[in-house]
Amino acid sequence: MENTARNLRKERIGVVVSDKMDKTITVSVEQSEAPDVWKVR
């Protein structure tokens, strides 16, 4: 059961901004928006 829960996690690529704390890091992730053509009017 544990493996299936881990496999459902999304992987994201980002840049590490801060790793000052022991167990916590801050990562900047860019999100791209859909083109304006796809927006509902």
Domain of residue 22: give its range.
Answer: 2-29
- Residue 21 inside a domain? The answer is yes
Domain count, the chain: 1
Structural domain includes residue 35: no
Residue 10 in domain: yes
Average pLDDT value for residue range 7-14: 79
Write down the pLDDT at residue 36: 78
Hey, which bits of 1-41 come out as E strands?
15-18, 26-28
Residue 4 confidence class, pLDDT cut points 50, 70, 90: low
pTM of the model: 0.43
CB 29 within 8 A of CB 38: no
Does the residue 11 lie in any domain?
yes
Stretch 12-32: mean pLDDT: 86
Rounded mean pLDDT of 9-26? 86
